[in-house]
Structures are given as C-alpha cells and as structure tokens.
A and B are shown apart, each in its own frame.
Chain A
Amino acid sequence: MNETLEQRLSMLLDGETTPFETKRLVDEIHCNPHIKALWLRMNKQRAALKGELIDPTLDISASVMSHLNSTPQISHLNSKPWQFSHFFPTHYLKACCYLLGFFLVLSSPLLNLKNFSPSDPISKLSNPSKTFNRNIPLPGNEALLVDLGSNFNGNLKNYRMVSDNAIEANYQLPDNEAVKIKVFFNGVPQSERLNLIESGITLHTKSGNEPIVLNVSSDQISNSKLIKISNTFFTK
C-alpha cells in the first residue's frame, strides 16, 4: 500500500480507511494546515458536486470547537448520577474488591467456612475470594458486579434488585452493545428463576462458597459472542 497522503485523505472522505489509518489522518489534518485546507476543500468539492454548497467560505468548525474546548471532556459530559463507578473510579473499586476478597480469605478459617474446592470445575469463576452475597450491603455486591464485567470488558451501567434473591445488572461493551446479567443467590426457587429468565445463557456456578446462578443475555449480540462472554467466567 503506497498511497499518497492525498489518496488516503480521499479514502477517509469515503470512510474506507482502517481505524489505525483514520487516527493517523486525523492527527495529520490537525497538525498540518496544508492538509487541513485540502480536507476542507475536498469536502466542499463533494458538497458542490451534490448541489449542497451554499457558501464556499463557510466554516463553522472553529466556533464549534471553541465552544467544545470550553466544556469538559466527553467522559465527564456523560456522567450519570446513578452510576456508582463515576463516584468511585474502577481502580478504586477493584482495590476494594481485592481487599474484601483478601479479608474473606483470611477470615474464612475463623468463620469455619469451607474452602473453595479446586477439583470443582465451576470453581474457576473469576476470583474465588470474591463472593456475591445477599447479606452483604448492596455496594459490596456492586463492586463485584463491576469486577464481573471486567472479565468481558463490560462497563456496568446500572443494576437493580429484581427480587430478594436476585440482581439484574446491565453492562455496555466497548462496541456499545448491551449485555444483561442476572445473578441469583442460593435458594431462589426454580419457578421464580424461570420467571425472571427470559433468554440467554444460564450458568450454575459458585461465587466463593455460595452457589449462584448467572444468566447472561443480550438482544444485540450473537449467541457465539454470548457464549464467549459466558466462558470468561470460567477461564479467569
């Protein structure tokens, strides 16, 4: 591929560049006034061809960018008050999870809890020291939900208790696809579980020494991707 910069700009205009090339060209356009002028002209030429050019000297980009530069970065623009992770950054939540897990491991002999059985195939679920538990305060479970999402690069968007024994959590994948995970604690009657499960993949597993049931579903991603996500709970 020996395209000239102009040819690559032409490809950018047509949306035919790779993400890597797109990033490079964006940088070039804004570092080099000549390239920026060429990009502007190419777009005006297209507008003229399609009869959509009103004023060849029109350029509102400076005022748009000036306005945007006076506002915070996009990640802050979209802060949602209900999203726990905005108040507590992910690294902080992770640290809390590890500390909680560490504390549980240390305290398990004192509390006479059964150890995680290494022979149990489902014991590979994430970090065995992290335990979903209906008896711990909800933020504790939320931290675990965040950590659960990190297995498959899912960003926890929100969650709610759908019954006394079940949490429903919604995640967003990097491609903006939504994934829903329902976590059922031990003892949820099957009838109640069936009522709450509409579709997706259901796993019987454990979190710490607590048996739990996970239901992973999405109406936006393929079954194969759903299976891959489910597998991440076993491979970590």
Chain B
Amino acid sequence: MDNELALIELVKKGDKKAYNTLVLKYQDRLVYSVYKFLKDFELAQDIAQEAFIKAYKNIEKFRGDSQFYTWIYRIAINTAKNVVSTKARKSEIYDNDTTDQLLSESAATSENPENILQAEQLRSEINKALQNLPEDIRVTLSLREFDGLSYEEIAKVLECPIGTVRSRIHKGREMLDQTFSKYDMSNFEVRKI
C-alpha cells in the first residue's frame, strides 16, 4: 500500500509544494469519484477543489490511519452530499430521506463509463498498450496498479529482487507514456452533462 506519510509530514510542516504534489497525484481520481455522484463535471471539479482546500486546512487532523485518498474522498463526498441537500432544499422537490437515494441512484447509473464520458478511446489505447507490454513487465505493473501490492510484496510474489520490480514498473510506465504522449489530446472530447 502507498505510504505517503513522508509527503503528509512535509505538508504538516507547511510545505505547500508537497501538497501540490499530492493534488497533482489525486485530482483526476477525486474529480472522477465526485463526478460519479453528481454527474456534473464542472461541479465535480469545484467540489474536488474545495475538498483539497479543506483537507489542507485540516491536515493536522489526518492521523495516517487510512490512506490520504480515503480521507480526502470522504471530505469530497460529504461536500457533495451537502451540495445535493442544499439543492434539494432549494428545489423543495426532495425531502431529507431522498438525498441519499438521489446520490446512490446517480452513482448506480454512472457505473457504465460510456454514460459518463468519451474518454473510453484513450483508456482503450492505454489498455491495449498494457497488453502489448512484455509479459514480465506487464505482470509486474499490473500487480502494482490493479492489485495495489507494494514493491516488496511483488518481489515476494514474483520471487525476484526488489530492484528488478522497481525497474520493470518504471520501464512499463515509460512504454505506456509513449502511447499516452502520442495520443492526440485534441481528439479527446469530454461529454459534460
């Protein structure tokens, strides 16, 4: 599992660059998670932004019992729930009990990525590139990205030195980056609901 305590410690000491590193790391994932709830891309960005600001202001309360992402996810979802509740109150359509229902329905209907966005093409390219990686690199990278194993755990599973794990993962990312860089981002169209 990720150990980001070193980064968090820097943030707690007031290192904003360290926090920016975390924002860069988690922004896509957080916006995506909020988007799944709200189905509103621009609002999801605003809420993710607010969550990052709230998290920074309360970083002293983060004790490291969970992953940083889990913690900020909770902040973002609570913020999203507040937004939905406020909307519901304003519109006088929903009562309090229907807020959670509204959120869960929203999340359920957005399970199909095609209903959310047209980023499928890029994802498909990346996944194709992943499948085309040499087997040892693909397996190592997959254990890291999809199974969340640490380098040490991967080394044990694959019975190879940890240095080999490090270099395979890096090599895999470098090869995927070639696909990613080549991809014409201007063709990428985000469907905003």
A-B interaction: yes
Q: Which residues of A contact B (CB under 8 A)?
A: 3-4, 6-7, 10-19, 22-23, 25-27, 29-30, 36, 39-61, 63-65, 67-69, 71, 73-75, 77-78, 176
Q: How far is the CB of B37 from chain A (nearest CB, A)?
A: 13
Are B20 and A73 in touch, CB under 8 angstroms?
Answer: no
Are B113 and A51 in touch, CB under 8 angstroms?
Answer: yes
Are B4 and A15 in touch, CB under 8 angstroms?
Answer: yes
CA gap between A18 and B167 in the complex, in Å: 17
Known: A74-B12, A176-B63. A54 touches B119 (CB 8 A): yes
Other 13 A-B pairs with CB < 8 A, given A48-B122, A74-B14, A77-B56: A13-B173, A14-B169, A18-B6, A26-B15, A26-B21, A39-B24, A49-B176, A52-B28, A53-B119, A55-B119, A56-B122, A64-B52, A65-B23
CA gap between A176 and B11 in the complex, in Å: 14
CA gap between A1 and B41 in the complex, in Å: 43
Interface status of B174 (Cβ within 8 A of chain A): yes
Which residue from A19, A44, A73 sits with its C-beta under 8 Å from B14?
A: A73
CA gap between A63 and B53 in the complex, in Å: 10
Q: What is the interface size of chain B, counting residues whose CB is below 8 A from a CB of the partner?
A: 72
CB-CB under 8 A from B88, the residues of chain A are none
Known: A26-B7, A75-B14. A68 touches B145 (CB 8 A): no
CA gap between A74 and B10 in the complex, in Å: 11
Are B145 and A46 in touch, CB under 8 angstroms?
Answer: yes
Q: Which residues of B contact A (CB under 8 A)?
A: 1-4, 6-7, 9-21, 23-29, 31-33, 35, 41, 44-45, 48-49, 52-53, 56-60, 63-64, 113, 116-117, 119, 122-123, 126-127, 130, 144-146, 150-151, 166-167, 169-170, 173-174, 176-177, 180-181, 183, 185, 188, 190
CB-CB under 8 A from A56, the residues of chain B are 119, 122, 183, 185, 188
CA gap between A6 and B32 in the complex, in Å: 26
Q: List 28 A-B contacts (CB under 8 A).
A: A6-B170, A7-B167, A7-B170, A12-B21, A15-B3, A26-B7, A30-B21, A39-B21, A41-B181, A43-B24, A45-B177, A48-B119, A48-B122, A48-B126, A50-B29, A51-B113, A51-B123, A54-B28, A54-B41, A57-B188, A58-B27, A60-B23, A60-B27, A60-B49, A61-B24, A63-B49, A65-B20, A65-B23
Are A48 and B166 in touch, CB under 8 angstroms?
Answer: no
Are B24 and A22 in touch, CB under 8 angstroms?
Answer: no
CB-CB under 8 A from A55, the residues of chain B are 31, 41, 117, 119, 188, 190
* CB-CB nearest 9 A-B residue pairs: A15-B2, A19-B6, A47-B28, A22-B6, A52-B32, A7-B170, A10-B170, A61-B23, A30-B17
Which residue from B18, B48, B180 sits with its C-beta under 8 Å from A41?
A: B180
CA gap between A44 and B26 in the complex, in Å: 9
CA gap between A14 and B12 in the complex, in Å: 21
Are B60 and A45 in touch, CB under 8 angstroms?
Answer: no
| CB-CB nearest in chain B for A20 | B6
Are A58 and B170 in touch, CB under 8 angstroms?
Answer: no
| CB-CB nearest in chain A for B186 | A57
CA gap between A55 and B189 in the complex, in Å: 8
CA gap between A71 and B58 in the complex, in Å: 13
CA gap between A50 and B148 in the complex, in Å: 12
Q: How far is the CB of B46 from chain A (nearest CB, A)?
A: 9
CA gap between A77 and B49 in the complex, in Å: 18
Q: How far is the CB of B121 from chain A (nearest CB, A)?
A: 10
Are A60 and B181 in touch, CB under 8 angstroms?
Answer: no
Known: A3-B166, A60-B23. A77 touches B190 (CB 8 A): no
CA gap between A80 and B67 in the complex, in Å: 26
